[in-house]
Amino acid sequence: MPMKRVERPSSLTELAYRQLRMELLDGQFAAGERLSVVALAGAMGMSRSPVRAAFERLSSEGLLSQIQGGSGAVVSAPSHEELLNALAVRAVLEGLAARLAAPQLTERDLTKLEQIHQNFESAVARDDTKRARRVDLEFHQYVQARAGNGVLVEHLDRVQAQVILGTYSTAWGSSQHRAVAEHADILKALAAGDAADAEEAAVRHLHNLTGRLQEAWSSAP
């Protein structure tokens, strides 16, 4: 499978990590799929060592489960309970990120967030689920990057990735339309500089996502 190119980082291990993580979050690998160190090293044009090191890092994030012997790994398939636990944590962290970011956002930040939101709305209108997922995450990551708390960003990155990986097997199409309105509520509170309202809107968005997933699970054949 061809790998997407990203800006070359300082080491091959970091390059392998970034590329594989991006492919995982882009839905390029199915839950439970076995990944080979040899095959991926060949696809990325590098030796096995950096790919193996990337597998270890992704395993520590809960995105892969390494196969004994170090020859490969399996894409994680979180259970419903694990996904609900991750969503519960993410809701609190997303709320905190919005609260901390609200008073710090500049006009330039708000313009950028409005552009991201419009891209999300456009992707949803076109039923471009893959694009919508990417822009959805971009919106949340832009807010958390402006929160001014590196520890928060680190933990959110991890739990966001687990949630994204865990929801690829769930029909997400209908929920995107409701998510657009929820993002608009978050953006409105951020634009007003209202930390409390921003936190409440962000937490409500994640709680609603949890409810939509549970609805999808209950109606699944």
C-alpha 104 chain-centroid distance: 23
Nearest to 56 by CA among 72, 41, 45, 40: 72
pLDDT interval class at 11 (50, 70, 90)? confident
201 residue type, one letter: A
| Per-residue pLDDT reduced to its tens digit, 107-133 | 999 999 999 999 999 999 998 888 888
Give strand pairing partners of 65: 74
**Is the pLDDT at 173 greater than 70, yes or no?**
no
CA neighbours closer than 13 Å in the CB half-sphere of residue 49? 2
pLDDT of 70: 64
156's CB contacts (< 8 A; 6+ apart) are 90, 93, 94, 97, 140, 141, 144
pLDDT digit string (tens) for 142-166?
999 999 999 999 999 999 998 988 8
Q: Which tens digits make up the pLDDT trace of 13-49?
A: 999 999 999 999 888 888 889 999 999 999 999 999 9
Q: Is the pLDDT of residue 55 over 50?
A: yes
Residue burial 13-47, b: 16+ Cβ < 10 Å; e: rest:
bebbbbbbbebbbebebeeeeebebeebbeebebe
Residue 198 has pLDDT above 60, yes or no: yes
Among 57-61, 73-77, 198-202, the range of highest mean pLDDT: 198-202
Q: What is the pTM of this model?
A: 0.85
Would you state the structure tokens that stand for residue 75, as one six-digit string? 């894409």
- 186 has a pLDDT exceeding 90: yes
pLDDT of residue 89: 97
Distance of CA 130 to CAs 27, 146, 155, 212, 214, Å?
8, 25, 24, 18, 21
